[in-house]
Amino acid sequence: MEIKKPFLQTLHGEMTESIPFWFMRQAGRYLPEYGELRSQAGGFLNMVYNPKNAAEITVQPLRRFGMSAAILFSDILVIPQALGQKLEFMAGEGPKLDALKEENDLSKLNSDTIDEVLNPIYETVSLTRQKLNDEGFDQTALIGFAGSPWTVATYMVEGGGSKTYEKTKAWAYGHPTSFQKLIDILVESTTHYLCRQVEAGAESLQLFDSWSGVLDEENFDRWVIKPTSQIVAGVKEKHPDIPIIGFPRGAGTMVFNYAEETNIQAIGLDFTMPQKWATDNLQHLMPVQGNLDPVSLLAGGPQMEEKAQKILKTFGNQPFVFNLGHGIIKETPIAHVEKLCDMIRGYKR
Ligand code: 1CP
């Protein structure tokens, strides 16, 4: 008999007894056991490409908090690296890449051999599935993920994080035909990468579009909605039943078009999304996921409890996955996470 997993049931539109939950960036720096492994491994990428370590980190938060889903420990920037772009993570700093400046630089990218780099990640997925079973997490689903082409492209063109995205936007607005070539490469490689994660045992996928909110409507349509639809269609062609969650962060009311047009199964909401607007406009289309401000979790106490209760009440009448509206912050006290998990688990619909 197949064991039912509340997170997957919810993504398929069923109402489960309690509300499933997980937190973006739940595997990571706020956990002391993560810090220990990181210093032994000698850096972030050494953990990502070591299936044993990566599977261990994926499972770490579940042992403490028992979330309804585990998310593969990896990063959205493994795709540029697999395509041949130089990538480094310096301790305490963000990622650094050898920036692409113009169309000619695209010839440095090669999508034929990405699996040579990505194979250890597929191995992490299968190893994690094994580990979840071995440790008795039989109701916990495993989420695979990738960055969406627009967000990944910003890192490839800016050479790292950015506040303004001027280089990427200038390329996309000024030379859309050549920028399209970069997006096409990312659509193709990301579709392949996600399919391979499913084949290795991922039970759901999330597309992170962290910087989708910096584009105007026309460009949101072209660089966010269209490539996302292509990836969803490509993955569904091979794996029609895999639920895909889209997370177009900062997109405001353009989230509606995204939800309607991309054929995703569920929509992630950031913490700026007005809750009533989201229940009225989105939740009848598909399950939603979100949207507690990670700073509220960091600060803890009564304000967090009130905010979390309001989210549970507002979204809990229809299929809903509790999550944060962005990644958990490094300094977040473990006790605050424990409190939040207890509240979600104890909530009666
Ligand atoms: O130990 C360290 O110093 C590394 C910190 C770290 C971690 C734990 C990075 C560097 N990435 C990760 C893991 C990670 N990244 C996961 C693992 C699973 C989990 O959620 O627990 C996921 C899903 C990501 C996704 C990711 N990476 C995004 C999308 C989500 C988001 O936060 O908006 C983005 C934008 C990245 C790029 C990235 N990787 C790491 C950093 C510090 C950044 C952001 C840089 C920036 O702010 O521009």
* String of DSSP letters for 44-93: HHHHHT-HHHHHHHHHHHHHHH--SEEE-S--TTHHHHHTT--EEE-TTS
Q: Which among 38, 129, 196, 249 is annotated as catalytic?
A: 38
Active site residue 75: yes
Which residue's CA lies nearest to atom 44 of ligand 1? 94
Q: What spacing in Å lies between the alpha carbon of 7 and ligand 1's midpoint?
A: 22
CA 178, CA 235: separation in Å to the nearest integer? 25
CA 243, CA 8: separation in Å to the nearest integer? 8
- Token reading at 101: 């400046």
C-beta separation of 81 from 117 below 8 A:
yes
Active site residue 25: yes
C-beta separation of 255 from 248 below 8 A:
yes
Beta strands at 141-147 and 69-71: parallel, antiparallel or unpaired:
parallel
- Token reading at 107: 């010839």
Active site residue 112: no
CB under 6 Å to ligand 1: residues? 24-29, 38, 44, 71, 73, 75-77, 89, 94-95, 145, 147, 161, 208, 210, 327
CA 282, CA 271: separation in Å to the nearest integer? 15
pLDDT score for 75: 98
Select from 31, 75, 96, 293 the residue to mutate for testing ligand 1; criterion: most ligand atoms less than 8 Å from CB.
75
Which residue's CA lies nearest to atom 1 of ligand 1? 44
Which helix (H) or strand (E) segment holds residue 172: the answer is: helix 166-174
- Token reading at 13: 């539109």
- Residues 6 or more apart whose CB falls under 8 angstroms from that of 113 comprise none
CA 149, CA 9: separation in Å to the nearest integer? 28
Measured in residues, the chain has a length of 349
Task: Burial-class residue 249 by CB neighbours within 10 Å (0-12, 13-18, 19+).
Answer: buried
- Residues 6 or more apart whose CB falls under 8 angstroms from that of 332 comprise 30, 294, 297, 298
Active site residue 155: yes
Select from 76, 128, 211, 329 the residue to mutate for testing ligand 1; criterion: most ligand atoms less than 8 Å from CB.
76
Active site residue 38: yes
Q: Which among 49, 155, 165, 258 is annotated as catalytic?
A: 155
Which ligand 1 atom is the nearest neighbour of the CA of 23? 20
Q: What spacing in Å lies between the alpha carbon of 34 and ligand 1's midpoint?
A: 14
CA 102, CA 78: separation in Å to the nearest integer? 21
* DSSP code at position 262: S
Q: Is the peptide bond before 291 cis (omega within 30 degrees of 0)?
A: yes
- Token reading at 47: 């953990």
pLDDT score for 56: 98
pLDDT score for 2: 64
pLDDT, tens digit only, all 349 positions of the chain: 566 999 999 999 999 999 999 999 999 999 999 999 999 998 899 999 999 999 999 999 999 999 999 999 999 999 999 999 999 998 788 999 999 999 999 999 999 999 999 999 999 999 999 999 999 999 999 999 999 999 999 999 999 999 999 999 999 999 999 999 999 999 999 999 999 999 999 999 999 999 999 999 999 999 999 999 999 999 999 999 999 999 999 999 999 999 999 999 999 999 999 999 999 999 999 999 999 999 999 999 999 999 999 999 999 999 999 999 999 999 999 999 999 999 999 999 8
Q: Is this structure's pTM higher than 0.85?
A: yes
Q: What spacing in Å lies between the alpha carbon of 54 and ligand 1's midpoint?
A: 14
CA 292, CA 329: separation in Å to the nearest integer? 12
Task: Burial-class residue 250 by CB neighbours within 10 Å (0-12, 13-18, 19+).
Answer: middle
CA 221, CA 190: separation in Å to the nearest integer? 19
- Token reading at 295: 């700073």
Q: Which among 30, 34, 49, 75 is annotated as catalytic?
A: 75
CA 80, CA 24: separation in Å to the nearest integer? 21
Domains of the chain: 6-346 (3.20.20.210)
Helix axis angle, 176-200 relative to 149-158, nearest 10°?
Answer: 120
